[in-house]
């Protein structure tokens, strides 16, 4: 039971992370200028990878595939 609850929390965190990355990308696209960090694409990519990891681990925990 605790594994499934942890899995659901992981999936929700992954979904929230994807939303946060999308929001940051959209904001940067509208308001970005020459002072925008050159490391931002790497940060956005890392956020997507982290979100997919959260979702993948969450699904594995919910389905008890560990």
Length of the chain: 66
Supply the mean pLDDT for the chain. Answer: 96
- End-to-end CA distance of the chain: give it in Å, rounded: 14
pTM of the model: 0.89
Matching residue, tokens 């940060």: 43
List C-alpha distances in Å: 66 to 16, 33, 42, 55, 56: 24, 45, 30, 14, 11
Query: What is the tens place of the pLDDT at every residue in 23-40?
Result: 999 999 999 999 999 999
Q: Are 25 and 44 a contacting pair, CB within 8 Å?
A: yes
């Amino acid at each position: 039971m605790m594994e499934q609850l942890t899995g659901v929390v992981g999936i929700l965190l992954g979904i929230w992370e994807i939303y946060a990355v999308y929001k940051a990308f959209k904001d940067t696209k509208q308001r970005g200028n020459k002072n925008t960090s050159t490391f931002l694409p790497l940060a956005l990519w890392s956020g997507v990878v982290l979100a997919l990891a959260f979702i993948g681990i969450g699904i594995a925990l919910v389905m008890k595939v560990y």
